[in-house]
Amino acid sequence: MSSKAIVIGSGIGGIATAIRLACKGYEVTVYEKNPSAGGKLSSFSLGEYRFDLGPSLFTMPHFVDELFELAGENPRDYFNYKRKLVGCQYYWEDGTSLKAYGDTNAFLTEVENKLKVPKKRLQKYLDKAAMKYDRTKALFLERSLHRWQTYLSTDTLRGIAKLFAYELETSLHNVNHKQLKEPHLVQFYDRFATYNGSDPYQTPGMMTLIQHLEQHFGTFVPDKGMVDITNSLVGLAKRKGVTFEYNTSVDRIAVTNGVAHGVEVNGKLHIADVVVSNMDVVPTYRHLLSDQMAPERILGQERSSSAVIFYWGMSRNFPELDLHNIFFSEDYKAEFEAIFTNKALSEDPTIYVNITSKDVTADAPKGKENWFVMVNAPHDDGQDWEALVTKLRKQVLEKLVRNLKTDLESLIEEEYILTPPLIAQKTDSFKGALYGASSNSRMAAFLRHPNFSHKISNLYFCGGSVHPGGGIPLCLLSAKIVADLVQNR
């Protein structure tokens, strides 16, 4: 008789964990409270426009391909994507613009021509970021930080030996300022702290490795939009025998004598040998494990940033824009102080505009575009979001009109607005934080909740609120870590 596994939640980490456990011979059931899978990585339509709800950046696609290959399938038969020549276009209020070419030599040339930064200086910076990644990926990304066996491997000891070079004692901004000097380029690389919902003026200099991942591995776009990552992996999971129970909330994780042995759904106990929570770790403890002792120090960590997102169906196209576009604020430090210190929105926010119809033409009618307009925001702490969003919408339009020299308001045919409270409601992300805990501490990587429970056997955790962190690649890695832990239990 095969062993049974239950996965709570069908975010990308939960789906990947289900696939990996099914490939190991487990009979897997996924319980999802929503009517479809994906969590933040889902989609919706407004009239004739289609929008991806959440994550819009696709990097390290080999982690998705790996799941198909693990199951003995050719990923190209089910899921396809292309690499973008330009990862993102950047705009500053002083008229400066920059194209982040995927090809490193082309990018070095762009930076030298536009910002007058010598190629050697930037190449040295990139080489150092690559070193950090290569030396630490085995420790920080591919294994559990919370098991002593991890620290006995050759790769880990090799990484620890270079600890002094990881710049943990200073901030990402200080590292960028010291090594790059040029203000536009410093702000450009400071932005990567937002990839895990953190503040570049607080998060450690170690985080330069994030930009290495994008520059080295590239930026991609799925042929059918970001939601196709979810759809293709759900299809794979079903072919491997995984059962998805939608519109089904788990009420409790059943624990007896320190052993998780199933979940309770609508008053009925479903027995399992392994229980995996893909739900945010805070509500997992507060609601599903309310009768168990919670790790309060971990749960009480500062939350990451959230976002306010405007989804706009635009009645004309903008050939000067690409898939990813950033319009920077003039005072970056003030923007992050507003978010993390004052728990407010910046008076001059940086604006991200994602337009998937540039590459997925079916996402908008011909001659029109679907705009995903995002501003970094604090997590929900009881703010008056209706008033904040009303003011923000006006600021966003004014800034974009100033940069694009076009009246935008009259072009908006469809609109939906997502706020931190709505993010919390739709995805169970605690306080609407997009990445669980922030990384505004040099010990943040070690303080994230582990992928297993120290006190409850057969209970595991995956997804963006636990190790190794948020974002599609890290959620997929969390699934791999969980599967390895289950195999070695």
Both ends of the chain: CA-CA distance in Å? 18
Q: For 38, which DSSP code?
A: B
The fraction of the chain above a pLDDT of 70, given in percent, is: 92
| pLDDT at residue 402 greater than cutoff 70 | yes
pLDDT at 197: 93
pLDDT at 443: 66
Let me know: does 265 contact 247? Beta carbons within 8 Å. Answer: no
Q: Please give the Cα distance from 211 to 360 (Å, whole number).
A: 26
| pLDDT at residue 112 greater than cutoff 50 | yes
pLDDT tens digits, residue range 11-23?
999 999 999 999 9
pLDDT at 146: 47
Q: Please give the Cα distance from 183 to 162 (Å, whole number).
A: 29
Q: What pLDDT band is residue 148 in, cutting at 50, 70 and 90?
A: very low
Q: List the one residue out of 58, 391, 106 whose CA is nearest residue 222.
A: 58
Q: Where in the chain is the domain with CATH 3.50.50.60?
A: 4-39+58-80+225-301+442-487
Chain center to CA of 409: 30
Kindly report the number of other CB atoms within 10 A of residue 412's CB atom.
14
Q: Please give the Cα distance from 305 to 315 (Å, whole number).
A: 31
Helix (H, G, I), strand (E, B) or coil at 269: strand
Average pLDDT over residues 178-206: 94
211 against 7, higher pLDDT: 7
| DSSP per-residue letters across 206-257 | GGHHHHHHHHHH--EEETT-THHHHHHHHHHHHHTT-EEE-S----EEEEET
Q: Please give the Cα distance from 254 to 288 (Å, whole number).
A: 9
| pLDDT at residue 155 greater than cutoff 60 | no
Q: Please give the Cα distance from 444 to 432 (Å, whole number).
A: 19
Average pLDDT over residues 451-462: 96
pLDDT tens digits, residue range 198-242?
999 999 888 887 888 888 889 999 999 999 999 999 999 999 999
Let me know: does 424 contact 54? Beta carbons within 8 Å. Answer: no
| DSSP per-residue letters across 322-371 | -SEEEE--S-HHHHHIIIIIS-S--SS--EEEE-GGGT-GGGS-TT-EEE
Place of tokens 């728990």: 343
Task: List Cβ neighbours of 238 (8 Å cut-off, separation of 6 or more).
Answer: 244
The average confidence (pLDDT) of the chain is 92
What region, left, alpha or beta, does residue 405 occupy, with left being phi > 0 and alpha being psi -120 to 50 degrees? left
Amino acid at 97: S
Let me know: does 66 contact 478? Beta carbons within 8 Å. Answer: no
pLDDT at 212: 80
pLDDT tens digits, residue range 30-86?
999 999 999 999 999 999 999 999 989 999 999 999 999 999 999 999 999 999 999
Task: List Cβ neighbours of 70 (8 Å cut-off, separation of 6 or more).
Answer: 19, 20, 23
Which residue intervals of 40-147 are DSSP H helices?
62-70, 104-115, 119-136
Average pLDDT over residues 109-134: 93
| pLDDT at residue 388 greater than cutoff 80 | yes
Q: What pLDDT band is residue 320 in, cutting at 50, 70 and 90?
A: very high
pLDDT at 117: 98
pLDDT at 372: 98
Let me know: does 186 contact 96? Beta carbons within 8 Å. Answer: no
Sign of the dihedral through C-alpha 445, 185, 97, 127:
negative
| pLDDT at residue 143 greater than cutoff 80 | no
Q: Please give the Cα distance from 60 to 177 (Å, whole number).
A: 27
Let me know: does 377 contact 420? Beta carbons within 8 Å. Answer: yes
| pLDDT at residue 445 greater than cutoff 60 | no
pLDDT at 420: 98
Tokens, residue 364: 């908008």
* CATH fold for the domain made of 4-39+58-80+225-301+442-487: FAD/NAD(P)-binding domain (3.50.50)
Average pLDDT over residues 377-394: 98
Q: List the one residue out of 194, 208, 394 whose CA is nearest residue 306.
A: 194
Q: List the one residue out of 486, 489, 483 whose CA is nearest residue 67.
A: 483
